[in-house]
Amino acid sequence: MLDIPICNPPDRNPRRATLAVPAGSVDCHTHIFDSRYPLSPARGYTPPDSTLADMAHMHSQLGIERVVFTQPSIYGVDNSAILDAMAKIPELARAVIAVDMGVTDDQLAAFDQQGVRGVRLNLDNKGGMPVSLDDVPQLAGRIRDLGWHLEFLFTGEDLPDLAGLLRRLEVPVSIGHFGYMPAAAGVDFPPFQLLLELVREGNTWVKLSGPNRLRVGELPPWPEIPPLAHALIEAGPDRMLWATDWPHPNKFSPLPNDADLIEQLKLWAPDEGMRHRILVDNPERLYAF
């Protein structure tokens, strides 16, 4: 029998956020977990159900109107859970899927018609990387004409080994959760400085998300995070995104209320105009809403 841990559910009582967000705001990274869909035997955790209805309630409390579904590692390359959810709200949703190199061009075109805008390459979670790094440039070439991007998740310390690959890619690159940097190491941490370089070069987007994944505790306050956010926003204000990371999978401690997460933007991006760029303008460009 597989020894796969069951992770915590999200806070099932999201409170109403105190930060007013602009119309059309986008949560750029959520997942759908539904026991109707088969789990990959190669997964690293088992999630409690967190459905489209659960997500919609959470977003209503935060004022979020649009969403980007991101394929979680626990479903492998079976994207059915997020694609079925997207089909229920097609004008309000986009998706980033997982594929292997066996995917056909016709399948990629069909995904594009459904609202897919990128491919996720998850180097951090078991089962989330069905493509070898050697094949990534070929995959980038295949999705380039669709206008898609590649989204990466990796540990911050791994960025120096990956930077050469990221710079060679023919499509935009999105990096999740602040690049998974150890926030306590600060802005001067060499891999974070490298991340800033990539952002300044113009092809790298970063999700300002998952502060509880940056090794500074599960619950706010996170005083180590604003300096990282300020540096990233200064480096690439037109390529910053925001996300809840709901329902915060692969976590086994108490989780933040999602209102806590949107309210971090008051600290990360105090200027209202900048928040509009992060929540509305930037995601509209990357995900072609």
Residues labelled catalytic: 245
What are the Cα distances from residue 223, in Å, to 155, 184, 267? 21, 9, 9
221 cis-preceded (ω within 30 degrees of 0): yes
CA distance 98 to 72: 8
Instruction: Quote the DSSP letter at residue 46.
Output: B
Residues 6+ apart with CB under 8 A from 106: none
Contact between residue 214 and residue 180 where contact means Cβ atoms under 8 Å apart: yes
Mapping DSSP to helix (H, G, I), strand (E, B) and coil, where does residue 201 land?
A: helix
What is the radius of gyration, based on Cα positions, of the chain? 17
φ, ψ at 240 (rounded to 5°): -100, 140
The answer to whether residues 144 and 256 touch, using CB atoms and an 8 Å cutoff, is no
Q: Please tell me the total number of residues recorded for the chain in this structure.
A: 289
Phi (first) and psi of residue 68, to 5 degrees: -115, 110
Contact partners, residue 267, CB within 8 Å, separation at least 6: 225, 226, 229
Q: Strand (E) positions, the chain?
A: 26-30, 66-70, 93-97, 116-122, 149-153, 173-175, 204-208, 240-242
